[in-house]
Every structure is written in C-alpha cells, then in structure tokens.
C-alpha cells in the first residue's frame, strides 16, 4: 500500500481542551500530522485516513513534546470553541 503523510499547523488563541487529552493545553501553535493510505483498484486516487496525531507539550517534562492520537472531529470542535471564545471577547470589548 502507498501511504502519505500531511502536516499542518493549527493555532489556538486561548487554552483549550481536546478530546483524548486529559489536561488543558496552552494557547499556541500545534503541528497536526495525518497518515493516509491509497485505496488501490479504483480509477482515481482515493486516500483513507489511518491516523491523525498532534504534537503537544509533555505533561511531565518541561520543554518536551509528545505526540498524541486525536480525532479530527474533536480537533475541529476545539478550534470552533476557540474561535467562538475569541469572537465573544472581541464583541464584549467593542
């Protein structure tokens, strides 16, 4: 099977909770890595997601990072909550 890995940076402007991580994560930039495999035998390329991971600050070692497996829907929900909180803060200060 052919696999591919894609990377993206997501930004949180406020501390946040993420499904699958048992602590509050600080605001900042986070790298998200997605591994996918090619589904063979089709007339066009289609990839199936194998795993999505995110690098987060390690809980026990200051300055260290760890990679945790996450649900893309959970990540999107956390991003939506962050955007809503930022919007509400901007509205209140206007």
pLDDT, tens digit (0-9, with 9 covering 90-100), for 20-60: 898 999 999 999 999 999 999 889 999 999 999 999 999 87
pLDDT band at 75 (very low <50, low <70, confident <90, very high): very high
What distances in angstroms separate CA 37 from CA 2, 17, 72, one per listed residue? 6, 29, 16
Residue 29 to residue 10: CA distance in whole angstroms: 6
Domain spans, the chain: 3-93
Q: Is 2 helix (H, G, I), strand (E, B) or coil?
A: coil
pTM for the model stands at 0.83
Mean pLDDT of all residues in 81-87: 87
Q: In the chain, what is the straight-line distance between the N-terminal and C-terminal CA atoms, in Å?
A: 54
């Amino acid at each position: 099977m052919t696999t591919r890995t894609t990377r993206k940076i997501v930004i949180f402007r406020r501390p946040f909770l993420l499904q699958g991580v048992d602590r509050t994560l600080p605001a900042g930039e986070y790298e998200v890595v997605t591994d996918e495999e090619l589904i063979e035998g089709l007339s066009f390329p289609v990839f199936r997601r194998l795993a999505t991971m995110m690098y987060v600050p390690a809980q026990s070692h200051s300055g260290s990072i760890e990679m945790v497996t996450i649900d893309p829907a959970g990540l999107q929900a956390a991003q939506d909550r962050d955007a809503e909180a930022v919007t509400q803060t901007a509205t209140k200060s206007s």
